[in-house]
Structures are given as C-alpha cells and as structure tokens.
Amino acid sequence: AIGRVCDTCESLVTREDVLRDLVPALFKAMEQEHRVVFNACRALTIVVKAAYQISKDQGTVETEEPETYILSPVFEEMIKRLIIKLDCANAGENNLRISGYEALMELIKNSPKDCYLHIQQYAMDVLQRLQHVLGIEGDAISSIADSVLSALLQIMQRCPDTAYVKDGALMAVSTLIEVMGVNFAKYMEQFKPLLCNALGTHEEHQICQAAIGVISDLCHALKKEVRHAFEDKIAPLMDDMVSLLLQILQDANVKHAVKPLVVGFFGDIAIALGPNYNRYLNYTVEYLMNAVNAAQITNSDDLEQVEYAESLRDNCISCFTGIVQAMRSSQEGLQQLIPVVPQMVKLIAMVAESGNLSSDDLQGKTCGLVGNFIEVFGKDILPLLDTPSTSDDIQGTTCGSLEILPLLDTPAINGLLQRCQRSKVQNAKSLGVWASRELSHLKRQANAV
C-alpha cells in the first residue's frame, strides 16, 4: 500500500514534514518479512527519484546537477540499509534482491553533489555486490538494466580520480553486456564517451585493460547484429574504438602488459565483424607485422623477455586466427591477406622453433592457426619453388600470390605438431591432431596433382 501511495502522491511524500516520519518508517519496514521489505524498497525508489527531480526542477540550469536535496541528510543511511538487506542469505525470495538493487541503483543515479562523497565511499561495496548478483541472477537483473547502467555511469563520473572504482565499474559493465547480449546496443550512445575516455587513459593501465575487455565483450554481443546493421550501428562505434586502440599501440609510454592485449583484441573484432573487418585490415596489419618482429627471444635466460615475447606471440596468434576466420568467406578479403602470409608463417615458425620454451597453450593455439591456414588457402600454398625451414628464411619471402612453397611442411612445424599430439593438455592435443590431419591431407592433394 505504501508503494502505491508514494507512486500516486509524489509531491506529498517528498515534503519535509512527511519525510521526517516516512523515512524512519521505511527503514523499520526493511527489517520485516520479505513481502514488506519488497514494498519498502519500491517506495524508497519512488521517493528517491521524485526528490531528485523536484530538486533539479528548482535549479537555475536544467542540465546542472543539484547541489543538494531533501534526502541528503539520510543518504548514507539509505545506502547502508540497502547493502545490509541485500546481504541477507534469503534475499532472493519474492524478488526482494531485484527490488533492493533497483532502489540502490536509483539512489546512486539520483544523487546530488553533496552526496558524491558517500558514493565514493561505498562504490566498491556496491560494485562487488552488483558483480556477484549479475553473475547469479543475470536474467532477472536485466529487467532493471536501465537503472543499473545509469548507476554505473554515475559511479564512473563521480569517482574520476579513483582508478580501482572505475576498473570495478567497467568489469560490472562487462558482466551486464554478457547478460544482455545484443540488447546492450541501445545503451552505447550514453556509454561510448566514458568507454572512449577509459581507453584513452594510457597511464592507468588497469583501466585501459578493463576498457579493452569491455570492447571484447561488446564484439561478442553485437556480432549477431553485424550482418544487417553494420553500417548504421556497428561501424560508427568500431571506427572510433579501432582508432583509440591503434593510439595505444603507437604510445611508447604504455605499459608492456597492455599492448599484447590490444594486438590480440583485433582478432576478437575480426571474428565479430567477419568480412566487414576488411575496412580495418590494412590499418592493423602494419602493427601486427611490427609485433611479430618484436616477439623475438634473444636471451632465453631473461625471464622478463621470455614472458613478454610469449604474451606477444600468443596474442598475435589469436589475432591472425581471428582475421583468417573472418576473411575466409570473402574472396576480396583473402586477396588482402596474401601479403601477410609470410608474416603469419614466420610467427608459426618462431613458436615451433622455441620448442618447450613455449607453453602448451601457445603451441596448441599455433597448431590451430596452422589448421585454419590450411583450411582457408588449401593446396594453393604447396606449389613449390624453394623450401624455407626457419623463421629467418621466411623473413625475406614475398607473396605476390600464394603459389610459392610448402611453407608449413618444415621440420620445425612438423615437430610442433608432434609435440602437441603428445601433450597432456587436452586442447593442445586436439588441435595438434587436427592440424596434422589437415597437413597430411594437403600433402596428399599436392602429390595427386
């Protein structure tokens, strides 16, 4: 009943003399049975939204945030009460958890300037709980997605100097994207500026990495839309994202750990966009080639160098794999890939020649690229003129067409395939077996010509 009263009499329940009794009554109701708590949360949501709107309407500038509002004196107590209630073991009953989170999100969303300090103080508590509930009750939470995203954006805006809070908010957005899938697209207009800002924060590598993760999730969520909505929905977003990612690769001051992630992420973009990725291929190939050249191990005793090279190789393999898969259905795209073939094979050979210095996971991914490579280009890669056997030999190879040489049938690469077939890591073993079969089939085709 109290929820209906608040809903129909907003101007009455936001009067100071009424709130003086109403707020303590709502706090007391939150200690009652779940049905009563549910209604109290609903009433609180209505009161918070109404109080903020009234304060905003009384301001001199329509778009300006209010300095304060009638609920400011009890704002912190409202946050604390809601957090305590959401921590109850049985909070999932009667949709209580959802109504509680809706009230909490609206409280953050509808907060004046004098309450920002409380948001900063409780931001991580809220984000941790939100991340948890998105994971276990994602479908239900999606019904209040508007409030959730608005609150996350407010947290990012109102905690501008707190890196770990921004990082936490971006992680929560990633989870929300996973829950909503393609339906998240409707929020991109309001979310894009903050995402671009996070990507441009090169000096805060954790924020930058979290933003890259968000774009990766976006790619997976939006790929269902790509076929019929690329030009009007996806391209405007991705054009800006790709530009910002390339700026990260160009920045000499960016932390080492970030650049390999960016390289690998282009593979995610390629898989999501399919043949549409050809608009970015020429821009990214140059950086990929530079990355492959930088992935050298000159001193195997230098653990830092080995770790960085391993990360760079791993992400280059992921990127090439994504690009090959994206371009396989487009003859134009495959033609664009031809000049890159020597660089791809050079990378495969580098991993192959490193032997067990490379992890089973990386060796398995490399076998996967070998298999994809053969599937896409088929017997066209086998007509031979000469047979390079190492990555150094491949360095100078040009590829005006794919009729060059058996790039993949070398002792080093065959050794890689054999190691993976014996691997105790199931994924590496499966990829090794598959790639070996593809190579054997390819050689039989060549011998039959």
Enter the DSSP assignment of 189.
H
Specify which of 2-11, 316-325, 399-408 reaches the highest per-range mean pLDDT.
Answer: 316-325
Residue 366: what pLDDT? 95
Answer whether 248's CB lies under 8 Å from 208's CB: yes
75 in a domain, yes or no?
A: yes
69 in a domain, yes or no?
A: yes
112 in a domain, yes or no?
A: yes
292 in a domain, yes or no?
A: no
**Nearest-angstrom CA–CA distance, 317 and 351:** 10
Answer whether 70's CB lies under 8 Å from 11's CB: no
Residue with tokens 């994924």: 427
Mean pLDDT of all residues in 329-340: 78
259 in a domain, yes or no?
A: no
Residue 401: what pLDDT? 32
**Of 380 and 144, more confident:** 144
**Nearest-angstrom CA–CA distance, 408 and 397:** 13
Residue 7: what pLDDT? 59
Specify which of 27-36, 262-271, 408-417, 430-439 reaches the highest per-range mean pLDDT.
Answer: 430-439
Q: In sequence order, which ranges of 379-425 are alpha helices (DSSP H)?
A: 391-395, 411-421
**Of 95 and 293, more confident:** 293
Judge whether residue 384 has pLDDT over 50.
Answer: no
Cα distances from 193 to residues 196, 211, 235, in angstroms, run 5, 12, 16
Q: What is the DSSP string of 97-112?
A: HHHHHHHHHHHHHT--
324 in a domain, yes or no?
A: no
Residue 326: what pLDDT? 87
Question: Of 182, 336, 199, 335, which Cα lies nearest the Cα of 261?
Answer: 199
> Which pair of tokens denotes residue 52?
């903020």
Question: Of 208, 207, 221, 313, which Cα lies nearest the Cα of 251?
Answer: 208
317 in a domain, yes or no?
A: no
Cα distances from 273 to residues 101, 314, 325, in angstroms, run 35, 21, 10
- How far, rounded to the nearest angstrom, does the alpha carbon of residue 264 sit from its chain's CA centroid? 12
Q: Dihedrals φ, ψ of 252, to 5°? A: -70, -15
Judge whether residue 416 has pLDDT over 90.
Answer: yes
Q: What is the DSSP string of 277-342?
A: GHHHHHHHHHHHHHHHHH---S-TT-HHHHHHHHHHHHHHHHHHHHHHHHHTT-HHHHHHHGGGHH
**Nearest-angstrom CA–CA distance, 352 and 414:** 8
Which residues span the domain enclosing 17?
1-157
**Nearest-angstrom CA–CA distance, 122 and 124:** 6
Q: Dihedrals φ, ψ of 61, to 5°? A: -120, 125
**Nearest-angstrom CA–CA distance, 349 and 355:** 10
Judge whether residue 185 has pLDDT over 80.
Answer: no
Residue 405: what pLDDT? 38
**Nearest-angstrom CA–CA distance, 263 and 122:** 35
**Nearest-angstrom CA–CA distance, 318 and 312:** 10
Mean pLDDT of all residues in 118-126: 86
Residue 6: what pLDDT? 65
Judge whether residue 397 has pLDDT over 50.
Answer: no
Count how many domains the chain has.
1
Residue 219: what pLDDT? 79
Question: Of 172, 273, 261, which Cα lies nearest the Cα of 208?
Answer: 261
Confidence of residue 153 (pLDDT cuts 50, 70, 90): confident
**Nearest-angstrom CA–CA distance, 131 and 232:** 31
Judge whether residue 229 has pLDDT over 60.
Answer: no
Mean pLDDT of all residues in 89-102: 68
Mean pLDDT of all residues in 297-324: 89
Confidence of residue 355 (pLDDT cuts 50, 70, 90): confident
The strand ranges marked E within 26-82 are none
Task: Give the three-class secondary structure for 256.
Answer: coil
Residue with tokens 């809601």: 82
Judge whether residue 236 has pLDDT over 80.
Answer: no
Specify which of 36-40, 196-200, 422-426 reaches the highest per-range mean pLDDT.
Answer: 422-426
Residue 162: what pLDDT? 73
Confidence of residue 197 (pLDDT cuts 50, 70, 90): confident
Mean pLDDT of all residues in 207-214: 86
In the chain, the percentage of residues whose pLDDT exceeds 70 is 82
Residue 53: what pLDDT? 87
Residue with tokens 């054999």: 418
**Of 247 and 57, more confident:** 247
Confidence of residue 385 (pLDDT cuts 50, 70, 90): very low
Residue 348: what pLDDT? 92
Residue with tokens 């339906």: 183
Judge whether residue 98 has pLDDT over 60.
Answer: yes
Q: C-alpha angle with apex 38: 33 to 43, nearest 5 degrees? A: 125
Judge whether residue 398 has pLDDT over 50.
Answer: no
179 in a domain, yes or no?
A: no
Confidence of residue 196 (pLDDT cuts 50, 70, 90): confident
Mean pLDDT of the chain: 80
